[in-house]
Structure 1
Amino acid sequence: MTPLSLDSAELLAIEALSWLVRNDELLPVFLGATGASASDLRQSAKDPEFLASVLDFLLMDDAWIAEFCQSADYRFDFPMRARAALPGGTQVNWT
């Protein structure tokens, strides 16, 4: 799995956030999970760590990823590759 550039990863995460904001069922779940308010989203969209949390949230459920990727015409592995490029995205090898 090849990570994306930071700029490409941030762009994808902003697209995912935009998709999430338009999802009336999933947005409240995201806000509850992150503690963010609807008014925090615009300012937080500039923060790479917050953008990473958007992708972390979506990656919790294959159906969410599939829905987002289908809506944006992305391959299903694209969000995971983007997540790897954002802060905290490197895989930890515990052995």
Structure 2
Amino acid sequence: MAISTEAAETLALQALTWLVANDELLPVFLGSTGASEADLRIRAEDAEFLASVLDFLMLDDDWVVAFCDACAVPYDLPQQARAMLPGGDEMHWT
């Protein structure tokens, strides 16, 4: 069963909160996305930005596991959430 768009955005916000609290990973996220710390606050309600948070998180299985363990959510939920946000239905062949 697919999750709702609202639930997907909520999970992405949890992922953003988790990233902000991670002193080692936050600079990597900021560097790879080009976002600033101010952008984190300003764009926290932007579905496209939240999609980029989940895209980043899913770059590494260890990050997914750490996030899911910290938030007590199933390991496949970030991928389900990503599919509900802008661009999530696009096929990527990389």
Normalised by the size of structure 2, how large is the TM-score?
0.94
**Partner letter of residue 35 of structure 1?**
G
Q: How does 1:1-95 map to 2 (within 5 A)?
A: 2-92=1-91
What percentage of aligned pairs have identical amino acids?
58
Gaps of 5+ in 1: none
More displaced 10-residue stretch of structure 1: 85-94 or 35-44: 85-94
Deviations 1:52-84 (A, max 9, x none): 000000000000000000000011000000000
How much is the aligned-residue C-alpha RMSD, in angstroms? Answer: 1.4
**Partner letter of residue 24 of structure 2?**
E
3-state SS of paired residue (1:90):
coil
Offset of residue 92 of structure 1: 2.2
Offset of residue 3 of structure 1: 3.0
1:41 & 1:7 partners in 2: Cα distance?
A: 19
Gaps of 5+ in 2: none
1:39 & 1:56 partners in 2: Cα distance?
A: 20
Query: How many matched pairs?
Result: 93
2:84 & 2:62 partners in 1: Cα distance?
A: 22
1:26 & 1:91 partners in 2: Cα distance?
A: 27
3-state SS of paired residue (2:37):
coil
